[in-house]
A and B are shown apart, each in its own frame.
Chain A
Amino acid sequence: MSLLKVSDIGVRYSRLTAVRNVSFTLEEGEVLFITGPNGAGKSSLLRAIAGVTPPAGGRIDFAGRDITGLVPETIARLGLSMVPEGRDVFASLTIEENLMVGTGMHSGGNGWRARAAAELETVYATFPILKERRHSQAGLLSGGQQQMLVIGRALMTHPRLIAIDEPSLGLAPNITDQVYERLIALQQERRLTLLIVEQSSTRAMLVGGRMMLMRGGEIVLDGDARAPGKSEAIEAAYFGYGEQV
């Protein structure tokens, strides 16, 4: 059974339709890139899945449960962690506090504190810079460090799926490389499922995995990012020319 199953989802902001009839499935352990030009509806789709903007129609199943219309905190507690565009660190909180915010959801059982501490060490091992600066305010970090912080923060919630919106936004290319390197390493270590939104398809082709291309609120292409002849098809789909893609 698929980990995530999106069926016929639509997202509307008053009279504007951002996403129309989108359906796809995502298997456990898969990496899926959603790419497409500005205003294609990528972020809206992600926000609908995370419960931030309730979909106008359709159905979303996660881990065998219908999550359509659930509030974001419930969806997060089920193991779907969203890292929004622009990173959204809690700027006035310290790095360690940022990391701890999401651990509250598992506080029911015994040994929460010990487990959170162990988890904290794992995240620090992956991102040593965060440990170094654990007590400084998150707002003072550079963009790349903030991106690592929000990935670490998502990991602290023990997610099965992480949905990331434009992790490369505002980052220098070499920093983006570093972020992706860690992200993919983490994915392989933990058998994480990743849903990554990026504007450019170059990154998807570099990293590999499956890629979907959105335009005008619809999915126009779905397949292996590295398939031969892909770049021409993407170009055609991206700019909206060519007969059939």
Chain B
Amino acid sequence: MSALQIIFDALSLGSLYALGALGIALIFGVMRLVNFAHGDVIAFCVFALLWPSVDAIAIVFAGNLPWFLLIPFVLAMGAGLSVLCELVVFRRFRNTNPATMMIASFALGFVIRYFLLMLFSSRPKSIALLPELSQPVTVLGARMPLLQLITILVTVGVLLGLTIFLRRTRFGLEMRAAAENFTMARMLGVRANRVIMVAFALSGALAGAIALILGSQTGTANIVMGANVMLMAFIATVIGGMGSLAGAVLAGFLLGATATLLQALLPPEARAFRDAFVYGAVILVLIFRPQGILSAGGMKERV
């Protein structure tokens, strides 16, 4: 494998983790909730393309839509479910402590997962999602599936778009203020419910983007397909510094790079234990920088 190929692998895996971490950090920023249901929202987005059935073969519902309808559909599904979670569940936990909210999110994740289980069974189904993306392309001499290139480009696009939204718009400003000091932002007239709802919608749409990438990449729909990304994304938000969006993205890419490099460089007999090495590295980072790589400025003063 060429060095260039390793770099592209690292970037595309890192993109996935960064998108996931961003989805978690956005919500953590405004309401100090670690949303463990995020992974199940990802799975839901993929299953939203299928008719309910327990057969091994997926009965496609919206999955055959042309891409320009399919993509908004999946993003809207993610955003919709995420906002629904906020309205039905998280809103009632608004002023409880973070541990309670976290447990509520675990429970909600299981509810979504078992809902999917009931409708689709636990058997993974093969789906052909955006098959045109699996054709190979050559970039700078490295061969890769088109999907990998698109994953990287989409992530860069999402990051740029989000940065512009947060830096240049009034709503983005209100969100950043709310993330740093929610009560103070409210005392300046910032509407709490609206800010939180937008954070959930953005986070859900990001889950939809991950669902599209994972679904096309693996060609399967599996009710636990979001779990691994969710775990990595959560780790990325922790080592990035809880509440720091830039930190979450950076750590997501670092995790992706670490995993890819270990995969390429470890002796073959140790590769099966790659994740153990990754988590070992995470522990090392946390020992030397427990506040995360980029800790959010407002966190220190919270008691």
Contacts and interface: CB of A to CB of B under 8 A. Distances in A.
Contacts of B189: 73, 76-77, 102, 104-105, 157
Contacts of A103: 170
B-side interface mostly: helix
Interface stretch (B34-42, B171-179, B269-277): B171-179
Contacts of A90: 176-177, 180-181, 184-185, 298
Interface residue range, chain B: 20 to 34
A101 B173 contact: yes
Interface residues of A, number: 30
Interface string B286-303: 000000000011100100
A84 B298 contact: no
A88 interface: yes
Interface of B: 170-171, 173-174, 176-177, 180-181, 183-192, 296-298, 301
Contacts of A100: 170, 173
B177 A93 contact: yes
24 contacts: A52-B183, A52-B187, A71-B192, A72-B186, A72-B187, A73-B192, A76-B189, A81-B187, A81-B188, A88-B181, A90-B181, A90-B185, A90-B298, A91-B298, A92-B296, A92-B297, A93-B177, A97-B177, A101-B173, A101-B188, A102-B188, A105-B188, A107-B170, A139-B297
B187 A82 contact: yes
Contacts of A210: none
Given A73-B190, A101-B174, A139-B297, 16 more contacts: A50-B187, A52-B183, A72-B183, A73-B186, A73-B191, A82-B187, A84-B184, A84-B187, A88-B181, A90-B180, A92-B296, A93-B177, A98-B177, A102-B188, A103-B170, A104-B171
Contacts of A71: 186, 192
A81 B185 CA distance: 11
A20 interface: no
Contacts of A73: 186-187, 189-192
Contacts of A86: 301
Nearest to B177: A101
Interface in A60-89: 71-73, 76-77, 81-82, 84, 86, 88
In this complex, the member of B185, B192, B301 whose beta carbon has the largest number of chain A beta carbons within 10 angstroms is: B185
A153 interface: yes
Interface in A98-122: 98, 100-105, 107
A105 B194 CA distance: 13
B174 A104 contact: yes
Interface in A220-237: none
Contact of A104 (B170, B180, B181): B170
A157 B170 contact: no
Contact of A76 (B171, B181, B186, B297): B186
Interface string A117-158: 000000000000000000001010000000000000110010
B293 to A, nearest CB: 15
A157 B186 contact: no
Contacts of B297: 91-92, 137, 139
B69 to A, nearest CB: 33
A139 B192 CA distance: 23
A153 B192 contact: no
B188 A76 contact: yes
A88 B180 CA distance: 10
